[in-house]
Copies of this chain bind each other. A is one copy, B any other.
Amino acid sequence: MFSRGGLVAAISLLVLPWTGHDLGFPTLYASAGFSLIALVSTMNLVPLLGPTFVERNLKGRDRLKRNQLEMCLISPLLFLFSAPESMGLICASIYALLLTLFIPFLFTDILRPQENPGALGSPLLSVAREQFPHQQLSVYLSALLCLLSATILGFLDDVFDIRWRYKLPIPLIASIPLLLVYHAEHGNTHIVLPKFIRNVFGHSVVDLGPLYYLYMSLLSTFCTNSINILAGINGIEASQALIIALSIALNDLLYLPLQFSLDFYGFTFGGVYRAGMALGSRELVERHLLSLYFMLPLIGVCIGFLRHNWYPARAFPGDTFCYFAGMAFAVVGIIGHFSKTLLLFFIPQIFNFLLSCPQLFGLVPCPRHRMPRLGPSNSPFIYPSTVDFEHPPRLHTRLILSFLSLLGFTRLTRHPKTKTILSATNLTLLNTVLVVRGPMSEERLTLECMALQVAGSMIAFGIRYGLAGIFYDGDRR
């Protein structure tokens, strides 16, 4: 029922740009239509193709469900032994296919019949109506190539279970097409310096050259892997990707000279809204439009997938999901030239990464799985998992753990007499939330993490549009 309604709405959105009505940003309507299609098709294809994945041994056991009986009580439709893994492949395929089919819509404004051009008066509104630049098409195609490469590599990771040290540079390889096209197109490698540094150097803009490429490739590695390590409970990967995508889309919308007006007792509010943020720059509008075209379908895919990945999960995302979603973020950050803003939306991931560092780099022992654990058999809650020390830990481990415990990020168990550390909760955001807020149900933990992600995005907007004025003037490239 919902599917059918969604598809009808989607198709009308797709047809709209070709009707010749003046819509401001006709291609954006099409993109919204594709987003709806993404939602509906992900929602329907995941359960349809799940059994095939299980058959081919692409399946995982949910470590946070007490037993299969309990699972079957929760949801009798659940597959008998385990849920399909790597379902991110379906999400990624739908996403890539829709972005491919979107290509002709990039040219809507050239192909559709022209009626009273520029009637709305705003010079910015005509941006969307002029010819879509060929350079932009190359960038779009190379972005798509990056996403496909990330999907292939993610699925290979799922099938072949690549080791960590080989895994880390994988997004680097996947980002090559974009970097090369960026270079071939003589892309911008300048950064704008903050006001006070500007006075020291005497320049307002500095060319980073090759360092800029290093930065961009590291961005893809970071976006991909940071989503991958903040995982372990139902729905966490998809929900964080959803909130980041929504934040990016909201940020993009701020740059569009959207038309909206409100008549209120004879007073008219609105008009061309927020045109100020793009500062009249056609380039900025184009970049953020392109970013929206990538984010809207991603939002659709994430919502559609969450329908099945939400507690109790009947489908797991696998590395494929983290790879393609992370790469989508890196790609829009690069082509939209807002990588610093992008990183601000990753505050919980950055926290999780920094917190994980002692375990990732071997300063504190790292067990195979660091996700929260089940409590006593009569408890419906999950508890922070711990790393146990067979031997008393070394000095540097003790120092790090004591410091983190002081901050409240981990909980230590000490010997009652000797006070040596016997165990510590694992150093991840999920365990920290459980330490701070006490044991809770798995669903609740996902919700609290989502709240953290939203809070992070709000802080990000505060920094970007509140504090940035202190460091930068209007010249934001």
Interface set of A (CB-CB < 8 Å, partner B): 52, 56-58, 89, 93, 96-97, 100-101, 103-104, 106-107, 134-135, 137-138, 141-142, 144-145, 148-149, 151-152, 155-156, 159-160, 173, 176-177, 180-181, 183-184
Main SS class of interface, A: helix
The 5 closest A-B pairs by CB, nearest first: A141-B141, A103-B180, A148-B148, A134-B134, A100-B177
- The chain B residue sitting closest to A148, CB to CB, is B148
Contacts A144-B145, A145-B144, A160-B52 given; does A137 touch B100 at CB 8 Å = no
Our pick among B52, B93, B181, B183 for the contact of A141 (Cβ within 8 Å) is B181
Which one of A155, A181, A184 has the highest number of Cβ atoms from chain B below 10 Å of its Cβ?
A: A184
Interface pairs (15), CB distance under 8 Å:
A52-B160, A56-B159, A57-B57, A93-B152, A100-B145, A100-B177, A100-B180, A104-B184, A137-B138, A137-B181, A141-B145, A141-B181, A144-B145, A145-B145, A145-B148
CB distance from A379 to the nearest CB of B (A): 38
CB distance from A58 to the nearest CB of B (A): 8
Q: How far is the CA of A155 from the CA of B183 in the complex (A)?
A: 31
Residues on B with beta carbons closer than 8 Å to the beta carbon of A176:
97, 100-101
Q: How far is the CA of A348 from the CA of B101 in the complex (A)?
A: 34
Q: Are A103 and B173 in contact (CB under 8 A)?
A: no
CB distance from A235 to the nearest CB of B (A): 25
Our pick among B56, B141, B144, B173 for the contact of A97 (Cβ within 8 Å) is B173
Q: How far is the CA of A181 from the CA of B160 in the complex (A)?
A: 34
Residues on B with beta carbons closer than 8 Å to the beta carbon of A159:
56, 58, 159
Which one of A57, A106, A107, A148 has the highest number of Cβ atoms from chain B below 10 Å of its Cβ?
A: A148
Q: Are B134 and A138 in contact (CB under 8 A)?
A: yes
CB distance from A365 to the nearest CB of B (A): 28
Q: How far is the CA of A471 from the CA of B410 in the complex (A)?
A: 82
Residues on B with beta carbons closer than 8 Å to the beta carbon of A141:
138, 141-142, 145, 177, 181
- The chain B residue sitting closest to A103, CB to CB, is B180
Q: Are A137 and B97 in contact (CB under 8 A)?
A: no
- The chain B residue sitting closest to A161, CB to CB, is B56
Residues on B with beta carbons closer than 8 Å to the beta carbon of A183:
104
Residues on B with beta carbons closer than 8 Å to the beta carbon of A149:
96, 100, 148
Residues on B with beta carbons closer than 8 Å to the beta carbon of A106:
184
CB distance from A52 to the nearest CB of B (A): 6
Q: How far is the CA of A138 from the CA of B144 in the complex (A)?
A: 12
Q: How far is the CA of A176 from the CA of B176 in the complex (A)?
A: 23
Which one of A100, A104, A183 has the highest number of Cβ atoms from chain B below 10 Å of its Cβ?
A: A100
Our pick among B89, B103, B142, B152 for the contact of A181 (Cβ within 8 Å) is B103
CB distance from A48 to the nearest CB of B (A): 13
Residues on B with beta carbons closer than 8 Å to the beta carbon of A173:
97
Residues on B with beta carbons closer than 8 Å to the beta carbon of A145:
100, 141, 144-145, 148
Q: Are A137 and B103 in contact (CB under 8 A)?
A: no
Q: How far is the CA of A137 from the CA of B145 in the complex (A)?
A: 13
